[in-house]
Structure 1
Amino acid sequence: MSLKDRINDDMKAAMRARESGRLGAIRLLLSAIKQREVDERVTLEDTGITAIIDKMIKQRKDSISQFEAAGRTDLVEQESAEIAVLAAYMPAQLSSAEIAEQVQAVVAETGAAGPQDMGKVMGVLKSKLAGRADMTAVSALVKAALAK
């Protein structure tokens, strides 16, 4: 079953169970997927959908920090609930040890020697770790590995 089919099935289940918060988050996700498909005139695969979910989670995390600064705990709770719904569709996250192992392997594979090769290493890692790791943390690990 594709990720899109799973999301559609979950939307139907949320409708039947009358879970308005969960239903709203799923509808937002389906809307973003449909928008990308219409804009690019393609049918998205699981990797494209995962990228959309990752972007939506990042947006909600940014919103949470803004709402916390403004003292809007009601909106923080709503955004946190949406993150929980969206995170269920993301692939399993890699541990920091697994990420470090991947970074070392790609650095050795590409023959990267210094900070000037960071783009080459990140390009390979982005395709390997998309959706399974926080790319800002990966970037920090690459920077540290290339600084040696």
Structure 2
Amino acid sequence: MNVQTIFRATLARAPARVFSYSTQAAPAAAPLLLRIKADVKDAMRAKDKERLAVVKSILSDLTYLEKSPQAPAEVTDSVIQVLVQKSIKKRQESVLSFQNAGRADQAAQETKEIEMLKVYLPQAMTEQEMEDAIRKVIQEQGATSVKDLGKVMKELGSLDPARAPKKTVSDMVKRILSSL
């Protein structure tokens, strides 16, 4: 028996579904994810090791999130932007630590990385925009005291966490409700 005969015999016995192709399209990747992957390639081509390390750290954080039990159903731009915000916050804490330790060179490096990461964030809501949205929800809900914080925050869940961080929104809601 030659190889072709063996191959044909194997094909004849194989279940049909092994060789069928799916017609379903792969899920579309988030535009920001595609941009980040393109930036990795650009940084490699430019041999920009600092930028490459920063961009790869975003992809690493994303991979870690996807494998965690709290993984979102799908990766959206908003999910990636929240990851970038967390990464920026870590680096800001590192800057303070390095400055307290007298390591200006390391603090400058972390500051430079923060600037590289900010490129991936949308423009944040202004204080006035957040306050207007919060006051509108408070009025709609009829909230009168800090006890109504949960109701108000639930309605404000529709705000993009990349443009209006939940901690900032929560603090502002508490401040507004306590002044009523």
TM-score normalised over the length of structure 2? 0.75
Q: String of CA shifts for 1:21-63, please: whole Å, max 9, x gaps.
A: 1111001111111111122385412121111111111111111
Alignment equivalent of 1:6, drawn from 35, 41, 56 = 35
The whole-number CA distance in structure 1 between the counterparts of 2:151 and 2:32 is 30
User: Aligned-residue CA RMSD in angstroms?
Assistant: 1.8
Residue 131 of structure 1 deviates from its aligned partner by 0.9
Tell me which moved more, 73-82 or 34-43.
34-43
2:145 maps to 1:118: no
Question: What percentage of residue pairs aligned between the two structures are identical?
Answer: 35
Residue 126 of structure 1 deviates from its aligned partner by 4.3
Matches within 5 A, 1:29-108: 29-39=58-68, 40=71, 42-108=73-139
2:35 maps to 1:19: no
The whole-number CA distance in structure 2 between the counterparts of 1:106 and 1:129 is 15
Unaligned runs of 5+ in 2: 1-29
Larger radius of gyration, structure 1 or 2?
A: 2
Q: Counterpart of 2:4?
A: none
- Report the residue type matching 2:43 in the other structure: A
Tell me which moved more, 11-20 or 37-46.
37-46
Highest RCO, 1 vs 2 (Cα 8 Å, sep ≥ 6)? 1
Unaligned runs of 5+ in 1: none
Higher helix share: 1
Q: String of CA shifts for 1:89-117, please: whole Å, max 9, x gaps.
A: 11111111111111111211222210111
The whole-number CA distance in structure 1 between the counterparts of 2:91 and 2:131 is 27
The whole-number CA distance in structure 2 between the counterparts of 1:3 and 1:134 is 19
CA contact (8 A) 2:134 2:173 kept: yes
Q: Counterpart of 2:173?
A: 142
- Report the residue type matching 1:37 in the other structure: E
The whole-number CA distance in structure 2 between the counterparts of 1:35 and 1:90 is 20
The whole-number CA distance in structure 2 between the counterparts of 1:41 and 1:127 is 16
Residue 129 of structure 1 deviates from its aligned partner by 3.6
